Structure 1
Amino acid sequence: MTQLMGRPILALPEDLGSRSPFADLLAGARTALLALSVIAVPVLGLWVLTPYADVTARGALRLSCALWLLGHGAPLTRGPGGAPLTLTPLLLTAVSLALLRRAGARAAARTPQGSGAWRSVLSLGAGYLAVAALAVAECSGTEAVLQAEPLTDLPAVAAVAAAGLAWGRWSAHGTTRPALPAAVADRLRRWETAEWAPPAGAAAVLRRTAGAWLLGLLAAGGLLLTAAVALGTAGRSATGLADGPAGILGLLLACTLLLPNALLWAAAYGLGPGFAVGTGTTVSPLGTQLGAVPEFPLFALLPTGSPGIAWQAVLGALPLLAGAVPALLLGRAAAGRSTARPWPPAAVAVVALAAVLATAAAAGAAAWLAGGALAAGRMSTLGPVPWRVALTAAGWSALVVPPGALLTRWTLSRTAPRPRAAATVRLRTAQLRATLHRLVTRLAAHPRPTGD
């Protein structure tokens, strides 16, 4: 009886290699509820502090569910006319992805590679989507301020859940590459022996180069955003708009949720193409054209007019400085500091071109994620234009990374430490002594015969 009571009820036999699907289902629902609590706790706290009684606790819960769905990229509508709201608060997206990654990694660590691992991940996703379905149902009524659309919101949540869980499984087990056809594998082997082919380890260098370039752009955007906050009027705008401590805390919460979006907008501004705050508007280093914008503290940070020549020179130097670090990283790796010999110049150019394409694609995807719509009509266009950001990022990186990497490789290859003459003489002397020692040993082992 004691053995029966100590046996886990939700466990399957060990030959299946996984826990009970119901246990993974509960783990997925718990992950979704934990991500929901990140926004529900402050929203319910603000509802307690607000002096107005026209919003009920269920209304605050509906607002939390709507913001949670919006953090997954799910489009919502607002008002009786169904005005679209698609501006994704990327801070909630990052929190959801981090929690999903942790859940996926734990599930993958408990189960070996194979069908059992995928069964566990699918159960986690089903539990996560069950909570999403309840949130969509709660926000689908006419009494909801932000209304959900089940046909578009559930696929958006499913896409984020699949990305986070796959990320977790990849971090635990890695990725299994499918077998290539024989003709393709033979062609790749011939390419690997070509003069321009990068050596082994070039993929890791490519990831570091592209990551350093993107981090440099984010750092430039962070500097611009910090300067705008320090010199702008966001604080006075929040004080004028808020009505009491609850209103100030609500505006602070909204600005915090949109802080990653503002960082990406500032990075697009420093990169050159800028961003839009409504149709027919532009905010870029070349000039600012704005119409009427909503009263919001982050919009109080927008520049007015055209910046001066000195400010434009500073903005033009930011992408150059951001591209200097990846150029140095790629050039140092190509100089042969970690390999037996330097890379061929053609191989450096190939890796640099791949880094340019990777950074352009990542910059365009980030610009697409950071934008959206606040309403219909004029406010249906917010954020950077993805294709402009991608082209500008490709242009700046192509201007800095390939020539900088080739110059760094050439400089480090010329200044590489060479063995001194004394060390060479000592090495040759040691080799000569070893040869003489072997010769004497042979002669001693076979003495010359003597006559009678």
Structure 2
Amino acid sequence: MHRLLVALLAALDAAVSAIVGWAAVLAPLTLMWVFAFGVLADWSALWPATVRIWQLGNFVPLSLTLDGQFLVETGLPEEAGSFVLSLAPLAFGVLIAAFAARSGRRALRSGKWATGVAAGTVVTALAAVIANVTSGNPVATVDAWRAILMPTLVYAVPMLIGAVTGAWSEGDDGIVDRIHDAADRLPSGWREFPALMVRGGGMALAGVVGFAALAIATAVPLRGGSVIALYETTQVDLTGAVLLTLAQFAYLPTMIGWAMAWMAGPGFAFGAGTGVTPAATQLGVLPGVPLLGLIPEQGSPLLLLSVLAPVVAGAIAGWGVRIAFRAEACAERVDHEPTAPRVVLAVGIAVIAGAGAALIAALTSGSLGPGRLAVTGPEPGAIALAVGLEVLVGAAILLLAPRSYERRLGEWVRGDDDEEGASDENVGGRRDIAASLD
């Protein structure tokens, strides 16, 4: 495909991503403006509010300054008049990243993925500039460089990852293929090492996040009474209830990140000097947000069993990688699986899973308000260490456990177990079966 056409298609993807992001905020805000304010609504504030929420969803911190009269009317203390809001509604970032990764893979299939990534990055940066320039207001301000850089990175990095991972598996006749060829020249037992390590780390991290999402789903019926009670205390009308629910859905991935931190052991904070862990919960007064009703009021030693979830995720990843590794050994007519690569694989899986957990912890941390609420979310370093060690235990159990049938499997693949010998066709079929395990 022609380079110009690739650039135009990638630019269109980036423009659609920005427009859809703005529309996702603008639509519910418009309903609120109509039903809550009516003819007295200040429509000039609608677009700035939309952009600021979109920027927050792209991890741009907002500096909020509330009017003194508003503080008096609402009974808020004077120190609450100025604070930073940086805890992002992670749903925005997740959807943008998924769309960008898909665009990167499409650029790869066109044969000019670098051009596509560059075009998408430039258009996203241009959209961020336009949004920031047209949304000035005295209530919520942002640093201009962050307002441009963060939305650009949220789109460009997943797009690049999507293109590179696709190039690794499908080929790109370029630098990724040259790296892949270099990996293919490694000795037997190490040849598939990079791909297996990344695959195993991704499986382990996906497993941990999946268990965290399951924990949230389990908490809904168990803590549903608290959530309903908080809805009743808000005393909002139907429109307000709908908007409040939509806002909470935007923060649902953030809650899943907190559940991951809780499950791993270190837990998370909801304010300075607080902590929510399986063993104990220490909280102050919480804002009246219904979703916060899912936070357990107290810990229990029994809940410490939740740390087994990352261990199980590591074991599943180790099992999947061991099957692929064993199939590779059989295809190479090797009677045993080398130990050293399996040890490094287990460590690599744990490192990748821990790094991914640290990234999730960083993305789900920030400031949620004035005072003690400036410290909210998990600590990335502690989460990385906990998840990494727990995944390492599970992965090592499955990767390093002895296989009593290991030699027998190699004989079966080669056809040495047949008393009368095996035909080339049968042996080839057995190797195809072993290779299909990869």
**How high is the TM-score relative to the length of structure 1?**
0.78
CA deviation vs aligned residue, 1:269-308 (integer Å, no higher than 9, x gap): 011010000111110012111112222112222212332x
1:327 aligned partner: 318
Within 5 Å, give how 1:410-425 maps onto structure 2.
410-413=403-406, 416=409, 424-425=418-419
CA spacing shift, 1:256–1:423, aligned 2, 3 Å: closer
- Aligned mates of 1:320, 1:139 — CA distance in 2: 47
2:243 aligned partner: 250
1:93 aligned partner: 93
CA deviation vs aligned residue, 1:368-419 (integer Å, no higher than 9, x gap): 0111111243111111100000010121122221132111x52451663855
1:218 aligned partner: 209
Return the offset for 1:84. Answer: 0.8
Within 5 Å, give how 1:13-412 maps onto structure 2.
17-19=3-5, 28-50=14-36, 55-80=41-66, 81-107=81-107, 109-110=109-110, 112-113=111-112, 118-119=114-115, 121-142=117-138, 145-170=139-164, 173=167, 176-177=174-175, 192-193=186-187, 198-232=189-223, 233-307=226-300, 309-313=301-305, 315-336=306-327, 339=331, 340-341=333-334, 342-407=336-401, 410-412=403-405
Return the offset for 1:326. Answer: 1.4
Is the 8 Å Cα contact of residues 88 and 369 (structure 1) preserved in structure 2? yes
Amino acid at match of 1:84: V
Q: 1:32 aligns to what SS in structure 2?
A: helix
CA spacing shift, 1:354–1:198, aligned 2, 3 Å: farther
CA spacing shift, 1:22–1:330, aligned 2, 3 Å: closer
Amino acid at match of 2:304: Q
- Aligned mates of 2:317, 2:7 — CA distance in 1: 45
Identity of aligned residues (%): 23
Q: 2:419 aligns to what SS in structure 1?
A: helix
Is the 8 Å Cα contact of residues 313 and 394 (structure 2) preserved in structure 1? no
Is the 8 Å Cα contact of residues 276 and 382 (structure 1) preserved in structure 2? yes
Return the offset for 1:136. Answer: 1.4
Return the offset for 1:227. Answer: 2.1
Q: 1:304 aligns to what SS in structure 2?
A: coil
- Aligned mates of 2:5, 2:206 — CA distance in 1: 39
**How high is the TM-score relative to the length of structure 2?**
0.80
Q: 1:427 aligns to what SS in structure 2?
A: coil
Is the 8 Å Cα contact of residues 198 and 351 (structure 1) preserved in structure 2? no
CA spacing shift, 1:427–1:169, aligned 2, 3 Å: closer
**Bigger mean CA offset, 53-62 vs 268-277:** 53-62
Return the offset for 1:165. Answer: 3.4
CA deviation vs aligned residue, 1:128-151 (integer Å, no higher than 9, x gap): 222222221233221xx4333212
Is the 8 Å Cα contact of residues 21 and 120 (structure 1) preserved in structure 2? yes
Q: 1:77 aligns to what SS in structure 2?
A: strand
- Aligned mates of 1:331, 1:22 — CA distance in 2: 43
Is the 8 Å Cα contact of residues 139 and 146 (structure 1) preserved in structure 2? no
**Bigger mean CA offset, 49-58 vs 85-94:** 49-58
Amino acid at match of 1:236: A
CA deviation vs aligned residue, 1:167-198 (integer Å, no higher than 9, x gap): 454366556438999xxx8xx999x44xxx73
CA deviation vs aligned residue, 1:6-39 (integer Å, no higher than 9, x gap): xxxxxxxx9x731397886566434311222122
- Aligned mates of 1:374, 1:422 — CA distance in 2: 66
2:73 aligned partner: none
Is the 8 Å Cα contact of residues 97 and 160 (structure 1) preserved in structure 2? yes
- Aligned mates of 2:134, 2:3 — CA distance in 1: 37
Unpaired runs of at least 5, structure 1: 1-13, 432-452
Amino acid at match of 2:219: A
Q: 1:292 aligns to what SS in structure 2?
A: coil
**Bigger mean CA offset, 368-377 vs 245-254:** 368-377
Amino acid at match of 2:96: S
Q: 2:141 aligns to what SS in structure 1?
A: strand
- Aligned mates of 2:148, 2:321 — CA distance in 1: 42
